[in-house]
Amino acid sequence: MKKWLLLIGLSLSIPAKAEMLPVPEWMSSATVYQVFIRNHTAEGTFQAALPTLADAKDLGVNTIYLLPFYPTGEKERKGTLGSPYSVKDYTAVDPAQGNLEDFKAYVDEAHRLGLKVMIDIVFNHTAWDNPLITDHPDWFLKNREGKIIPPNPEWSDVAALDTSRPEVQKFLISVGEFWLKQGVDGFRADHSSGVPLSFWQKFRIAMKAINPEVLLLAETGNAPYHDRAFDLSYDWDGMSRVVGAGLNLISANRFFDYQNVFPNVPKLRYLENHDQERIASKLTADFQQKAAAGLLLTEPGVPLIYAGQEVGLTGRPSLFDPAPLDWNRGNQDLRGVYQKLLTTRAKLPALHTGDLRLIAGQPRNVAAFVRFTPQQKVVVLINFAGTPQEVNLPWAKTWNEQVTGKTIPGGKWKLQPGETQILLDR
């Protein structure tokens, strides 16, 4: 195996982070499924969503990430239901979605199925009718006239916390401690760079003291936050470059250029999230959606799937108004592709932590690369074209194709439109 690696072209190894903070052992193999309880079912409750955990398990993900489920502010509310990021009470559940016991039952069922649960924490701002404004008006940022202000003009439905104050930091740490006691396995820090890095360092120490395996995810592109306080951070630049250029129009090398952005930092990879239009609205062809899934689930990093993405739902889900997912419109064939890729990813450690090298000499619409660790080497081939593409690997080998279970003889063969093949030595 060592010999044939020397034939591979462009190297894009992902080095370890300098003085890397210890991360949860389970993070490298995590596959994250983002759920907005309010819109996940017609009822929009934890009780109604409880049976869907089995569906997530069947899909092949192993981590549930919940958008905010707290009581939502009514003052200056946007839309009918308000933004979930306008938090009225940090340690309660929105009554329309259930209560704390319903939440705990959901977490317990997830754990029974072997799933982790992460939740959103919103520490940059609160709802205008959060009792903290009345009880502690000095905890908020004010203008020259002494009036409490929003973080920016667009976020008019929330008030900016002064998170530099020690008493505010102490309160926010207590919020994290509360939810750890309810059994959560991780936190996604909303707009984390809007809160001082020094706070997140204290928060990390406090949370890890309770559970060293708690995962801390930063919604930021600010490198010091990655390096000094968090385990994982968002890949802001990756898929937006790929999708913006058109998956069927660019060369394979383009797909991995963006991996050099903060290359020393573990990244959360995604095709879509709650702030964006659905990927199926951008990539309308079936083969494009399948190829994008293949890239997401084989490149370095931790993949995130927004609920509904796996069945090709379209549009831009509302954060402010009722928008229950219409699962009846789903593309079950696409779900099958995600399921097979997730199952394959789970059993191949090289896809969790392996470095990456591109394989030269393939068609421009084929991404061909190796993911490798000292113990395992995996070849990945993805056809981004709408027509079959012939590949020709430079090794006379017989391969076990992991997605379908087929045996592929060495030499030349064709990839079907949108197809991903994951190969191991026979």
Instruction: Kindly provide the residue ranges of all beta strands, DSSP E only, lying in 87-179, ordered along the sequence.
Output: 116-121, 125-127, 158-160
Name the residue among 48, 23, 47, 38 with its Cα closest to residue 69.
38
Listed in order, the ranges of the chain carrying CATH 3.20.20.80 are 17-353
Confidence of residue 301 (pLDDT cuts 50, 70, 90): very high
Summarize the confidence of residues 324-335 as an average pLDDT.
95
Measured CA to CA, the distance from residue 105 to residue 203 in angstroms comes to 26
Quote the pTM value.
Answer: 0.93
- Under the banding of pLDDT at 50, 70 and 90, the label for residue 245 is low
pLDDT digits (tens, 9 = 90+) for 344-375: 999 999 999 999 988 888 888 899 999 999 99
Q: In CATH, what class is 17-353?
A: alpha beta
Please compute the mean of the pLDDT values over residues 28-39 and round it to a whole number. Answer: 98
pLDDT band at 303 (very low <50, low <70, confident <90, very high): very high
Q: Which of 336, 298, 255 is nearest to 31 (CA)?
A: 298
* CATH homologous superfamily, domain 357-425: Golgi alpha-mannosidase II (2.60.40.1180)
Residue range(s) in the chain whose domain bears CATH number 2.60.40.1180: 357-425
C-alpha closest to that of 378 among 320, 422, 408:
422
User: How sure is the predictor about 244, in pLDDT bands with cuts at 50, 70 and 90?
Assistant: low
Mean pLDDT over residues 199-222, rounded? 97
Other CB atoms within 10 Å distance of the CB of residue 395: 15
Residue 402 in tokens: 């992991």
Q: Which pLDDT belongs to residue 5? A: 40
111 falls in which pLDDT band (50, 70, 90)? very high
Tokens at 371, concatenated: 């993911």
Inform me whether the pLDDT recorded for 83 exceeds 60. Answer: yes
Find out whether 208 and 214 touch, Cβ atoms under 8 Å: yes
